[in-house]
Structure 1
């Protein structure tokens, strides 16, 4: 008898609170929530498409309840400006789920920290030290090493007699390149030897990453019904075990670098050495250093793979664009050498292709959620303190009111109008804007442009035999970041001489 009464009490309190909230605040319209679960049962798997559909029903700003938690979604450039500029400071906090709170040491990193003295300090560190132009330039050899290693791997596989004319799954190559690149930048080590064999430490890191993905995709009602979390003991234990495993791995790497630095006195350009060297100057706790290193891994791995895979899919579907990029590369770089990042400023059409991909396929289409630290008004509606606000960058990029033929992949639009994608133009927000803008935007742009340039300079790309470009699956996979639902398969044909497909290897920088 006690349990039904307890449930009834919870229901009564919940309904009373929601009625009070609706009377006190003028909330944005939205689908009608159910008691306790809110709109959880209304959500479709690909959340960004679901929210874009709802924006056509309820308007450019609407409310949705994830369990008892109010989330407000904005779907226009004008409202994005209100969130990211006009009310930037009031909406600069983060809503941390149970899993995120564990991994971020309850916001001791950069990505998931609330806005305040800690965030300002760590943000300054990232802007002035980790992602300064000087450090980005110093780490360029690593980027070019891994990009050319990827090209060499594709070349070796596609010229095998048994693979002639066969399609390759590009995600396998892009994912490995992103893994090796970001781990070298973060941890200062290449976990793979010259024969393509990943060492024991690398296998442990891959295991941690795969387990993190597994935990992240396993949604639990405990996230949305916090008063029932005591029922999810096994999940809590799994999170704690994963966190301890990641901590142990990172501390071993940090210890190795500390010992090496004491022996040689040398400081490398990669992030772990930089953070350890700057630890006293910026008063960084060990938790913050670990959190920042994993921020780099989580922010720099999936997003690179996702963006380049979508861009390659668009160029396979649009051979006109692919040919135009190749003509520019042949004219600027020629066919007797490989391109480098130094060539990118002289490749304006390639830069337009990069922009167009970030427009149509932002890797985090709903950006990361902002949380109101006070009551605030957006679009004439109230957003109560504690509510989450999400900016639907995917919907904004497909708004016919601001983009001509928005669902057409047409890089030329950025030749007709110079549009910034680093947060000053609210029509194009792949890296966010304001206080929470991604500090590694320039690094990401350089890497994506380099990968695309190399892929198209070295190879012609075509759909698999019997597959028409218009029949390719261009649907997103569910998740915070949007991989292609069906991994891209394409047939590469080398277009340069064989000696230009060799990896340009460098040691640790």
Structure 2
């Protein structure tokens, strides 16, 4: 087929779609009680694609100032509603939780058929509930977390030892990479009883590149999502790179699973006390519903979600503290007072460290790991804030914009942990002004582990340690630019030189 024929076919397809879309929207807007949310003018074919830019969370926040806290946009063929207020987020995530519980699935999640077996992307079905239940029982329950406390303390000691060695040699620490290595080894030991990386090698950076590559591919605007006719062409190469990332992870998982199956086949080997062992037991009990393929995709979800989000939050928290030395000093003084000069923070200590807690809350507010959470989709027509949201509409809850709403937060753009000292607002899905983990039935199941790890890792970075920014950068000049994906990373890695106190053991 020659290029003229291809272009002619595409043009015809886009024209037909635009005409159909125009008719549908016109009918909806003419219904009175069935009106759709307002929004910017939708251009033929492209809709509002030209308005989202490289940081959609910021672009949508600006558009919502014009069109309101519930807004319709069209991205190519995809009709989307963007929510930018706590009140309407409550309607979506709580009042209409069941109707809005499906997922808007990016085409890249069709890689290896992941969307059909993933706890993150499956609809709220029996299969989804079973997988989610297994993840909670074996990792995220209070009992499981209490049992694994010693492992977290071991990984945190390794982090402190690494920072101490850098202090002794005057070496610069890439804080995000060090946090990622800690998170990576914690999740790999939890899942497989092995460490995946060392602090002084490139192994963690290689895996970090894979994890971030997946997150970026999920969140980055992909023309194949907006014009399905282009999916076989994959013009941006996003599907090809996602296939490569998944294959690299599955190769690692396959090796570990096969090795474990050989061990389980022997009679003299003691069983491991980790998640893989528990999941293989589940597979033996019910292989028809939980086969090895489903097991591998569950491990993929746990591995990706368990590394990037926690380390990213810690890096943002450290960046904000280094920009605000007086707040860092307050946190250090609290740790010294509560834990002692040479003490080590235990999980039971978190409740006795109110200033550390509000630093973490303020970091979640200003830098939510997933600014749109994970996209929701309606199962049927639903009324939201007086508007009709048609079935199969993607809903983006702009948690980033909600957490910076000047009507809710005084000095919303300022890092001000003290705002939470007398506040009952938490991050556990009860207060829709602050929902970094989502809310309702699709709330992130990893919140209990992430909550513990962020506090403990942040305390490990600041207790008995002073930091000097690399290159004599002044705190007020620290670059805070973002890289957008499903999660938001710091564009320029945070690098600083540590000076440790008497004891970091």
TM-score (norm 1): 0.89
Residue in structure 2 matched with residue 95 of structure 1 by the alignment: 104
Runs of 4+ in 1 over 6 A off after TM superposition: none
Q: Residues 389, 218 of structure 1: CA spacing in aligned structure 2 closer, same or farther, 3 A cutoff?
A: closer
Deviation of residue 426 (structure 1)? 0.7
The 3-state SS of whatever aligns with 2:479 is: coil
Deviation of residue 220 (structure 1)? 4.2
- The reply on whether 1:176 has 2:181 as its aligned counterpart is yes
The 3-state SS of whatever aligns with 1:109 is: coil
After TM superposition, the structure 1 = structure 2 runs for residues 293-442 of structure 1, keeping only pairs within 5 Å, are 293-442=299-448
Deviation of residue 288 (structure 1)? 1.9
Q: Residues 253, 96 of structure 1: CA spacing in aligned structure 2 closer, same or farther, 3 A cutoff?
A: same
Instruction: Tell me the matched-pair count.
Output: 492
Residue in structure 1 matched with residue 118 of structure 2 by the alignment: 109
- The reply on whether 1:81 has 2:90 as its aligned counterpart is yes
Deviation of residue 251 (structure 1)? 2.2
Residue in structure 2 matched with residue 443 of structure 1 by the alignment: 449
In 2: Cα distance, 1:370 partner to 1:21 partner:
21
Q: Residues 78, 461 of structure 1: CA spacing in aligned structure 2 closer, same or farther, 3 A cutoff?
A: same
Deviation of residue 91 (structure 1)? 0.9
Q: Residues 49, 327 of structure 1: CA spacing in aligned structure 2 closer, same or farther, 3 A cutoff?
A: same
Deviation of residue 198 (structure 1)? 7.3
In 2: Cα distance, 1:206 partner to 1:15 partner:
40
In 1: Cα distance, 2:276 partner to 2:382 partner:
39
The 8 Å contact of residues 74 and 80 in structure 1, kept in 2 or not, is answered as yes
The 3-state SS of whatever aligns with 1:416 is: coil
Deviation of residue 268 (structure 1)? 3.7
Residue in structure 1 matched with residue 32 of structure 2 by the alignment: none
In 2: Cα distance, 1:197 partner to 1:172 partner:
11
- The reply on whether 1:272 has 2:238 as its aligned counterpart is no
Q: Residues 211, 60 of structure 1: CA spacing in aligned structure 2 closer, same or farther, 3 A cutoff?
A: closer
- The reply on whether 1:457 has 2:463 as its aligned counterpart is yes
After TM superposition, the structure 1 = structure 2 runs for residues 240-259 of structure 1, keeping only pairs within 5 Å, are 240=243, 242-259=245-262
In 2: Cα distance, 1:482 partner to 1:198 partner:
22
Q: Residues 324, 269 of structure 1: CA spacing in aligned structure 2 closer, same or farther, 3 A cutoff?
A: farther
In 1: Cα distance, 2:272 partner to 2:420 partner:
38
The 8 Å contact of residues 72 and 390 in structure 1, kept in 2 or not, is answered as yes
Residue in structure 2 matched with residue 18 of structure 1 by the alignment: 21
Residue in structure 1 matched with residue 48 of structure 2 by the alignment: 39
Q: Residues 81, 267 of structure 1: CA spacing in aligned structure 2 closer, same or farther, 3 A cutoff?
A: farther
Question: Which 5+ residue runs of structure 1 have no aligned equivalent?
Answer: 503-509
Q: Residues 236, 347 of structure 1: CA spacing in aligned structure 2 closer, same or farther, 3 A cutoff?
A: closer
The 3-state SS of whatever aligns with 2:490 is: coil
The 8 Å contact of residues 427 and 435 in structure 2, kept in 1 or not, is answered as yes
In 1: Cα distance, 2:220 partner to 2:385 partner:
34
**Superposition RMSD in Å:** 2.6
The 3-state SS of whatever aligns with 1:91 is: coil
Residue in structure 2 matched with residue 221 of structure 1 by the alignment: 223
The 3-state SS of whatever aligns with 2:463 is: helix
Deviation of residue 332 (structure 1)? 1.5
The 3-state SS of whatever aligns with 1:389 is: strand
TM-score (norm 2): 0.90
The 3-state SS of whatever aligns with 1:477 is: strand
Deviation of residue 211 (structure 1)? 6.1
Residue in structure 2 matched with residue 505 of structure 1 by the alignment: none
